[in-house]
Amino acid sequence: MPFRRSARSPQARTCSRSTRLVGLLVAGGVGLTMVGLVGMAAAASPTTLTTAKNSTLSETIVVSSRGLTVYELRPETTRHLLCSRANGCFQIWHPLEVASAKTKLRAGRGVTGRLGTLRRDGFFQVTLNGHPLYLFAGDDSKAGAASGQGARSFGGLWHVVATSAPSGPPAVTPTTISPTPTPPYYPGY
């Protein structure tokens, strides 16, 4: 069958194209609005820190919304940062991040202190009482694991956040491996 051109006038074809263009713009606008609403819902959804009894440590500790153990590095504070992307710390100790500074933070039962956020390296990190919070890569995303407790690295001592909010790190015997000196011996940095 031979191709037949439409009998519509050039004005009708232009009108039809305009209608399709308007339809595409409206559909695109609706899509962008939905994306914006989903983004706002994510920012508005609260991040809750809760507590869990840890059988290994025999104490109640603070955990993330997903049940992962939360750590802090002492003597690090929001004004004196020791852990950073530049020194490789973030590869081992993952900052507890939220989508924005406007994300609602909630302290669950047993979590005491002031929750906040710290803007750093293009993201927002959760803080508790002025201390940045982290998750340990060695816990392998297992709820209840606390294998980072007592680790010494990046200029301080890592410990779980206990619900009793001690004035210093909890009583723990850090594991330190001392190398056997062989001449010449240079002290570690």
Q: Please say whether the dihedral angle defined by the alpha carbons of residues 98, 100, 103 and 109, taken in this order, is positive or negative.
A: positive
Query: With 50 as the cut, is the pLDDT of residue 21 above it?
Result: no
Half-sphere exposure of 189 (CA within 13 A, CB side): 0
Distance in angstroms between the alpha carbons of the first and the last residue of the chain: 85
145-180 pLDDT tens trace: 999 999 999 999 999 999 864 434 444 434 333 333
Global confidence as pTM: 0.64
pLDDT band at 140 (very low <50, low <70, confident <90, very high): confident
22-81 pLDDT tens trace: 444 444 444 433 334 334 333 445 689 999 998 888 899 999 999 999 999 999 999 999
* Cα distance between residue 152 and residue 175, in whole Å: 8
> Contact at 8 Å (CB) between 137 and 125?
no
Q: What pLDDT score was predicted for residue 19? A: 53
Q: How many helices (H) and strands (E) does the chain have?
A: 1, 12
Query: With 90 as the cut, is the pLDDT of residue 99 above it?
Result: yes
Q: How many residues does the chain have?
A: 189
Spatial CA neighbour of 120 closest among 95, 91, 141: 95
Question: Across 34-110, where does the E strand assignment appear?
Answer: 47-54, 59-63, 71-74, 93-95, 97-98, 105-107
Q: What pLDDT score was predicted for residue 13? A: 54
